[in-house]
Amino acid sequence: DGGHLFHSAVGVWIADSGHNIIIHNHIHHLYYTGISVGWTWGYGKSNATHNIVEYNHIHDIGRGLLSDMGGIYTLGISPGTRLRFNLIHDVEAYDYGGWGIYPDEGSTHILIENNIVYRTKTGGFHQHYGRENLVRNNVFAFGRLGQIQRTRVEEHLSFIFERNLVYWDRGPLLHGNWTQPQARFDHNCYWREGGKRFDFAGRTLAQWQALGQDTHSIVADPGFAAPHEGDFSLKPDSPA
C-alpha cells in the first residue's frame, strides 16, 4: 500500500546495476510499476545485466492513477537477465500503458518464461523496442485493450514468441505496430473465449502463416481449470 506521497514510486527498482536477485516478493497496491530493471535508454552501454526476477507476486498496480507502467519493466541491453515464474495481475493505467511485462527502449537478450499474466488494461506483454528477447511458456490472459503489443519496428529480430498460451475475451490479439512482423512466433496456443473470431493484426491465420509466423501454432481452447478465478492449471485433456 505505497506511493501515497510519491505516486510514481516503484516496488523494487534496479537502475544501472547487475547480478541482483529479486525473488519471492509480494508487491501490490502501488500506483506505478512493480519491479523496474535497467536505466539506460536504447542500445547504449548498460551494467544492468544478469539480473534474476523470479517467483514474485505482483498485483493491483497503477490503480487508474498513472500511465506507462508494467508489472515488470525493463530498459536497455540486459544479457543474462531472466524474468521467470512470476504471477502478475490487475494492472490498471490511467490512460496508456498498463502492461504485465514491459520491455521498454532497448531491452535486449532477456529471457521471459513461465510467467502468468492476466487482467491488464493494455496487454500481458509489450515490447517498445529491443533485440532478440525470448518469450516462451507464458500464460497471457484477459488484456482489455489487446493482448500482445509491439511499438517500434526495427530491421533486426525484436523477439521470439513461442509456446505461449494466449486467452482473452475482448480486444485484438496483436495491437501496436505490426506493418512488418520482425518477430518470430511459433508453437503457441491462441483462444478467444467462446470461439469468437480474431485476426493477426488484420491478417487471417493463413496470411500470417504465409509470412512464416505461427507455422506450428494452434487455435484451440487450452482448457484452463477456472481462468476467471485466476486458476490457469490445465485440464488433463488440454490441447496445450
Which residues fall within 8 angstroms of residue 139, CB to CB, at 6 or more apart?
Answer: 115, 116, 117, 118, 164, 165, 167, 232
C-alpha atoms less than 13 angstroms from C-alpha of 110 in its C-beta half-sphere: 32
Please give the pLDDT value at position 236: 95
Size (the chain), residues: 240
Sign of CA dihedral 66, 68, 72, 75: negative
Please give the pLDDT value at position 233: 97
Please give the pLDDT value at position 70: 98
Q: How far apart are CA 140 and CA 142, in angstroms?
A: 7
Please give the pLDDT value at position 2: 92
Please give the pLDDT value at position 176: 96
Please give the pLDDT value at position 81: 98
- Which 3 state secondary structure label does DSSP give 58? strand
* Tens digit of pLDDT at every position of the chain (240 positions): 999 999 999 999 999 999 999 999 999 999 999 999 999 999 999 999 999 999 999 999 999 999 999 999 999 999 999 999 999 999 999 999 999 999 999 999 999 999 999 999 999 999 999 999 999 999 999 999 999 999 999 999 999 999 999 999 999 999 999 999 999 999 999 999 999 999 999 999 999 999 999 999 999 999 999 999 999 999 999 999
Nearest to 68 by CA among 7, 138, 23, 26: 7
- Model's pTM, two decimal places? 0.97
Please give the pLDDT value at position 34: 98
